[in-house]
Chain A
């Protein structure tokens, strides 16, 4: 899953990015409103974490522009503005959630997870395909009772495929959902990544979970 963190505080930006990446999110960061506009134009994000008092362009203005442009990416406002009217203004402009600073990182992650689930219309944080089971809340993958150790990118690719179960995701789409702009993945690298993922799943007893539609991409049946 790919998240854009728009935050002008260097420390917050760095820590949130690090924490979310360790939780297998692909994270991009923007330090001001103008930079954020450029990132958002790519339209590849599942969740946007948005600070309000941004240099260059106010967060609410950014949100307004997103919604006016038809961008329905889930937005979580992360702001020090704690007043009810601030929260109401943000939510009325189309934000999906509002978290006040200071916050617990685990809460931020849980809210981002919830927004991702909502995006894919899931009530539970569990994704299942046969004996394969992913608990997206704790980033745990099991085949039957056997845990499967995956790298963050392998997990991200598997979760993306499971969330779009039955649909084919091209290599490019998978790349978009598993990498950030700071770390490029080529299509070949994605093939290697999928190959490694299949090997680990097969070893745990889940054969042929990730299948290839030649010329189009990968899917989970």
Chain B
């Protein structure tokens, strides 16, 4: 067998794969964002520690007035740093570093810093009260974090006493500034920060990765579990075999989304059941209709063969055989015609046909069967657009039905009326034994008021044929039982021809 449809993907993969493809980038982006925020927070906290030290060192920096007695002829900056208080800046394995500039000139540096600091041009000094951070390699080669604080050293408390004389002097030395700007740099080992970031990454990424892996496994499982209802529905549908179309899909345990599917399936099954029932009824009716003529033929044949010397009886039997065969022929012919019309195999040849002439011809065909007088009311000529053969068959069945089943020999009539666009024909016959329920079944196949097959000629297909013929001719067929127990069979269609009165 050829695999016409190629590889089929399951609904599970149809849902799980896009879900995973959408979830993974989202999770990765989320993870990245969280990681960046946490890392920034760690760096910020690390930097805040450096900043605290920067402020501590700036606190021991004073702009002092000139004091010639102490050897300071001009205002000067004192960096009152006590190494005892800051052992971390001593030289050693875990040493931290600082340097201080005042007015671009190196003022002090930690003992841990092996080389001397070079001067910083004034215009390269950062703006006062600004803090900067960055990375660098420490003098001993360790990765470091650098903090720079630019500030204006506070005035010594004696400054106000000497007042205006000092700034003028200062201004001469540092044009444009009231005090020399100071800069403190602190560099510390950033390994703890890097370790913390590494720990963060490890502790964040690994669980998330694990969660993603579990999620990748869970999503298909969850989807498969969620689709369990579909499997349930499928199992219920699979449990309905062709031999029991009266079964229905139970809706117990089905989610609301699948209830319409189950309902639609049940509707479909109901329609199939109805079709099967019609098929069974049809077969049963056909078999029933054929049983009697077959029984007739068989019985006549067997009895005739048992006593072949009885020529008189056998001659009568031959006549009866012919009648039975004709009945079967009529039945099969009608069934074939119905089948042809149902599948649209009957070709309609449209032509202009004179309806009153067609009615007269059909009536004449039945005139040999006793008193068949039927009153005709309508124009003497009434051309319509129809298929002459189908029209003749329609009229033949209608008139046959009217004459066969009238409850009173008189009172049958055919009325023809037309407007510019449409033609209407009504056949009426007394039908005192019919009920409204019977009228609703008139066009049912094999339906007869009298269930006996006595008439032989009638299998209950005549009006079914008429209904089918009317459909082929685009005519509307209606049955109505009047209050006077007169049955009216009405046919309405498009006129098509020119009328002559």
Contacts and interface: CB of A to CB of B under 8 A. Distances in A.
Contacts of A10: 320, 323, 456
Given A80-B291, A101-B295, A103-B295, A9 B306 contact: no
A12 B295 contact: yes
Nearest to B455: A55
Given A12-B296, A32-B454, A101 B291 contact: yes
Contacts of A96: none
Interface stretch (A14-22, A130-138, A202-210, A213-221): A14-22
Given A54-B452, A55-B452, A9 B292 contact: yes
B277 to A, nearest CB: 14
B320 A15 contact: yes
B498 to A, nearest CB: 48
A53 B296 contact: no
B299 A19 contact: yes
Nearest to A17: B303
A107 to B, nearest CB: 10
B454 A104 contact: no
B313 A18 contact: yes
Interface string A18-43: 11001000000001100000000000
B295 A102 contact: yes
Contact of A105 (B303, B313, B452, B454): B303
A15 B317 CA distance: 7
B288 A9 contact: no
A8 interface: yes
A22 B306 contact: yes
A9 B456 contact: yes
B324 interface: yes
Contacts of B454: 8-9, 31-32, 54-55
A43 to B, nearest CB: 25
A110 to B, nearest CB: 13
Interface residues of A, number: 28
Interface residues of B, number: 30
B294 A101 contact: yes
B452 A12 contact: no
Interface of B is mostly: helix
Interface in B294-317: 294-300, 302-304, 306-307, 310, 313, 316-317
B249 to A, nearest CB: 30
A81 interface: yes
Contacts of B300: 11, 14-15
A146 interface: no
Contacts of A84: none
A12 B323 CA distance: 12
A122 interface: no
Contacts of A80: 288, 291-292, 295, 453
Contacts of A32: 452, 454
Interface in A98-144: 100-106, 108
Interface in B152-176: none
A168 B396 CA distance: 62
B298 A19 contact: no
A189 interface: no
Contacts of A31: 454
12 contacts: A9-B456, A12-B295, A14-B316, A14-B320, A18-B307, A18-B313, A19-B303, A31-B454, A32-B454, A81-B288, A102-B295, A105-B299
Given A10-B456, A12-B292, A80-B291, 15 more contacts: A8-B452, A9-B296, A11-B300, A12-B299, A15-B296, A15-B299, A15-B304, A32-B452, A53-B453, A55-B450, A80-B288, A81-B288, A82-B288, A100-B291, A102-B297
Interface of A: 8-12, 14-16, 18-19, 22, 31-32, 53-55, 58, 80-82, 100-106, 108
